[in-house]
Amino acid sequence: MDAFQSALYYLGQPNLVTMEMWDAFEDTRPPEIQNGVTREDITAFFKLLQRQSGPLDYDRLMVNLHSSSSANIETLHDVCKTLDAGAYLVSAGEDGIGHCFVVISHGPGKRLIALDSFDSKRDPPMVVIPLHYQQWIKHVKWICCIALKPGYQCRHGKRKSKTQRKGEKRLEEQQQQ
């Protein structure tokens, strides 16, 4: 959650998702979530935000941009150098211990920085370091892009079937006669 908050802070929306929202979500999950968050947990949280019409680009958020489940810092750096400008949530680890942080890309081939250790009491509220300083990384699990989509409205459960639309059209025509 700290990494996600770092990305939202970078995007200018630090209060879009709160710890209270995460805690409420966590209460709906199996107790194992206390031992670590999986990609499935993160995806479920993103879907919850989507149903609440949080203004994020879910088409980009749900896609894993990392093609394999194994990489070191050099490989991660090479992959990130090809990314378009934006904020990317990265799940990486060392010795079986996973950790999420944010990579900020300024465009293909340009400087990469990492945002880590979010703390709202600091200014800025996270540690900002060059990506290649993250030497502890022994494997990368996934990477996804976090982007805003102002005005997003979830259509989940709001679509009408063709039969429903035809029925409504018939009713309107009958009322006009």
Q: Which amino acid is at 86?
A: G
The whole-chain average pLDDT of the chain stands at: 86
Q: How far apart are CA 124 and CA 118, in angstroms?
A: 9
DSSP state of 45: H
Structure tokens at 21: 């929202």
Predicted local confidence at residue 104, as pLDDT: 95
Residue 161 or 110, more confident: 110
Q: How far apart are CA 177 and CA 169, in angstroms?
A: 13
Predicted local confidence at residue 32, as pLDDT: 79
Residues 89 and 150 sit within 8 Å (Cβ to Cβ): no
What is the band of 113 on the pLDDT scale with cuts at 50, 70, 90?
Answer: very high
pLDDT digits (tens, 9 = 90+) for 139-165: 888 899 999 998 888 776 666 778 888
Structure tokens at 142: 């996934």
Q: How far apart are CA 149 and CA 47, in angstroms?
A: 15
Q: Please state the rounded mean pLDDT for residues 1-24.
A: 88
Reduced to 3 states (helix: H, G, I; strand: E, B; else coil), residue 114 is strand
Q: What are the domain boundaries of the chain?
A: 2-176
